Structure 1
Amino acid sequence: MTIREMLRGLPVLAHDMPSFDPVDVPGTPLDLFASWFAAAVTAGVDEPHAMTVSTVDADGAPDARVLILKDLDEEGWHFATTSTSAKGRQLAGNPRVALSFHWRELGRQVRIRGVAHPARPEVSRRDFLARPFGSRVATLAGRQSEPLTDRSALDAEFARVSERVAADPDLVAEGHTVYLARPETVEYWQADRQRRHVRLRYRRTADGWERELLWP
């Protein structure tokens, strides 16, 4: 069987999904996201806080990776990375960013487009110290995305940094940065087994948020 045949044989939208009435929705996209996120947690969606973060490099080429949502407030969505990483450098050169969530079990997607800027240093510090031990060690080991010639070098660096963190639990990685993605558009997509999907887009204007339905 070819890959194409395997792909064609896979089921799509074969499970039960909730309904979504785009008329009875909050006035801001952040309130609707909070509601959908809570529903995803309640439904047992695996890692509902995982999101794809897309940026562009200096040549305008897109880049994407999955990160964890750190917070949501009235300003927008928060995520963290090292400022010297590829995505950190890309955001420094062009702060435009896209975030996307996919909650397969509910047949739902959320797409956010906006601009990301670093949060206050104390926010980044608190976030770093709240991370699990292994996560702090990995960040302090640094060199993200650089070529690795031998896995033993990684093991040695992790062992060295683990001793540092154990000796100084308040040690913070200098480049660890929390970014706030301030949304300009937010689109909500609810799947339908008959392909009559619901798409609702919020668009920021000078007077607040406008809502519009989109053809599926």
Structure 2
Amino acid sequence: MDINEVLKATEIMTGPFPELDKKEHNNPFSHFSQWYVHALKNGTAEPNSMVLSTITQNNTPDSRVVLLKAMDDEALYFETGRFREKVIQLTHNSSVALNFYWREQGRQVRLKGTAELTTDISHIADNLDAAVRDLNAYKTVPLEVEFYQALNEGGYARLLYKLTDGKWECNWL
């Protein structure tokens, strides 16, 4: 078996996909909520799974899959054991990237920002195991959020929200 031949023959981005919605939201959280509910209702397995990328103490990237546990109007929340490597990495450097990939929808959401340990989880405590177990809860505050949509006619569309001076700007790429 030649893995390169297998890779070359592997189908990618097979639809059908949802039609592109050109609506621009006031903020990426409302946009994300709409896409998340659509993914959940349309058969995407574990749409709350996201790749979390952090920076090691040697300044190299490190990624793993974690679960989105909660969201509010300014942040996304995940949790982890207190003695995990990612805790050390986030203490060293709070910069993170998150990536949601919903293959069945031809959609991807990429976020760049910072993750900070949070103890004020009262407004989302019902969503977090950290409220009852010995876990750290992290608040991820994005500075950029990109929405990627595969198109049925081929190609893709990308919409970028960028936080500038406390206000979200939205542009098609």
1:201 counterpart residue number: 160
- For structure 1, the residue ranges without an aligned partner over 5 or more in a row are 131-169
Q: TM-score, normalised by structure 2?
A: 0.91
State yes or no: 1:9 paired with 2:12: no
* Aligned equivalents of 2:100, 2:24: Cα separation in 1: 19
RMSD, matched Cα: 1.9
Matches within 5 A, 1:129-208: 172-173=133-134, 176-208=135-167
* Aligned equivalents of 1:16, 1:64: Cα separation in 2: 30
Shift of 1:26: 1.1
Matches within 5 A, 1:54-73: 54-73=53-72
2:21 counterpart residue number: 21
* Aligned equivalents of 1:113, 1:83: Cα separation in 2: 23
State yes or no: 1:80 paired with 2:39: no
Q: Secondary structure, in 3 states, of the residue corresponding to 1:35?
A: helix
Q: TM-score, normalised by structure 1?
A: 0.74
User: 1:34-90 deviations in whole A, cap 9, x for unaligned?
Assistant: 000000000010001000000001111000000110001112110001232100110
- For structure 2, the residue ranges without an aligned partner over 5 or more in a row are none
User: 1:165-200 deviations in whole A, cap 9, x for unaligned?
Assistant: xxxxx6x32xx1010000100000001244431000
Q: Secondary structure, in 3 states, of the residue corresponding to 1:37?
A: helix
CA distance 1:125–1:33, shift in 2 (3 Å) = closer
CA distance 1:192–1:60, shift in 2 (3 Å) = same
Matches within 5 A, 1:29-44: 29-44=28-43
CA distance 1:95–1:44, shift in 2 (3 Å) = same
* Aligned equivalents of 1:198, 1:83: Cα separation in 2: 39
Amino acid at match of 1:183: P
8 A Cα contact 1:78 1:178, kept in partner? yes
* Aligned equivalents of 1:29, 1:45: Cα separation in 2: 20
Structure with more strand by fraction? 2
Shift of 1:212: 1.1
1:164 counterpart residue number: none
Amino acid at match of 1:128: D
Question: In terms of Rg, which structure is larger?
Answer: 1
